[in-house]
Amino acid sequence: MTDATVLVLGFEPFDKAPLNPAWEVTRRLDGKAIGAARIVGVQLPCVFGKALEALDAALQQHQPSLVIALGLAGGRTALSIERVAINVDDARIADNAGQQPIDVAVAADGPAAYFARLPIKQAVAAMRAAGVPAEVSNTAGTFVCNHVFYGLMHRLNTVPAWAQTRGGFVHVPYLPEMAAALPGAPSMAVETQCKGIEALIAAVLRHDPEQQDLQLSAGQLH
């Protein structure tokens, strides 16, 4: 019997791509159980504003204790757990509705940034122990991925109903079938990506939020 819900969010395809690995992972994890927790997968539109409306609807419907949002970061070689979300939308390309905000706050009343509410170092260690390439990332970009990451953390930090809910964001690489059209681009099989996200979820569920995260070097020089 399950007694907790883990909400996994994955974006629809964008920028004319035929698929998005974030959604391919999400839909495969939907309905799975990890220990006493049940995973619910929900698709997000790759649209500023509407993605947060979908997030709010999912939070209200599923009442999760943990939220993991996934997005594509083509060119990365590992599953990247994002450390920080910043309060800015600055789109290099248009979203799926043709919007391209530049230097707009995600939340006008919000702070400059939020840290993920996850034991990111412990999760990376667990993913690597499962045989999945994983890393800590210090930039979630400024497109709809960061928009959702910041919006999620703003809600978890300001809405009393979500005060005990943990959450964060993971960027995923291309799938091999996508990289086939992009010679030299790194990729990761969807099965491996699913294995890594399951290991992350299990690590978070095991971790006591009152305890310190694992002390693992994950800094960057630039």
Domains of the chain, first to last: 4-206 (3.40.630.20)
Contact (CB, 8 A) for 33 and 95? no
Task: Say whether pLDDT at 3 is over 90.
Answer: no
pLDDT in tens, 70-91: 999 999 999 999 999 999 999 9
Q: How, if at all, do strands 166-172 and 66-72 pair?
A: parallel
- Within 10 angstroms of residue 49's Cβ, the number of other Cβ atoms is 17
Q: pLDDT at position 220, please?
A: 67
Q: pLDDT at position 155, please?
A: 98
Contacts of 133 (CB under 8 A, 6+ apart): 77, 78, 79, 127, 188, 196
Q: Tokens 């907790």 correspond to what residue? A: 4
Q: pLDDT at position 50, please?
A: 98
Quick one: pLDDT band at residue 1, thresholds 50, 70, 90?
A: very low
Show which residues are catalytic. Answer: 82, 145, 171
For the chain, what is the mean pLDDT?
95
pLDDT > 70 fraction of the chain, expressed in percent and rounded: 97
Q: Distance (Å, rounded) from C-alpha 85 to C-alpha 88?
A: 9
- Within 10 angstroms of residue 93's Cβ, the number of other Cβ atoms is 8
Q: Tokens 């890594």 correspond to what residue? A: 196
pLDDT in tens, 87-135: 999 999 999 999 999 999 999 999 999 999 999 999 999 999 999 999 9
